[in-house]
Amino acid sequence: TPAGRIHWAGTETSNKWHGSIEGAMLSGVRSAKEVVERFDSEG
């Protein structure tokens, strides 16, 4: 979940499986994709 240039990741920011390793992994993947998309759009 981006907040300006900061991209938060972790089990509590996951859309599924809060409080579990699966939720943390999904959140990390989501956040990494957001960062890559941001860099791609900035050129």
Taking only the tens place, the pLDDT of each residue in 1-43 is 678 889 999 999 898 998 999 999 999 999 999 999 998 987 6
Considering its fold, how many domains does the chain have in total? 1
pLDDT of residue 24: 96
pLDDT of residue 41: 86
Q: Report DSSP letters for the chain, one per residue.
A: -EETTEE--SGGG-SSSTTSHHHHHHHHHHHHHHHHHHHHHH-
Task: Report pTM.
Answer: 0.78
Domain that holds residue 7: 2-42
* CA pair distance 40, 21, nearest whole angstrom: 29
* CA pair distance 14, 24, nearest whole angstrom: 7
pLDDT of residue 23: 95
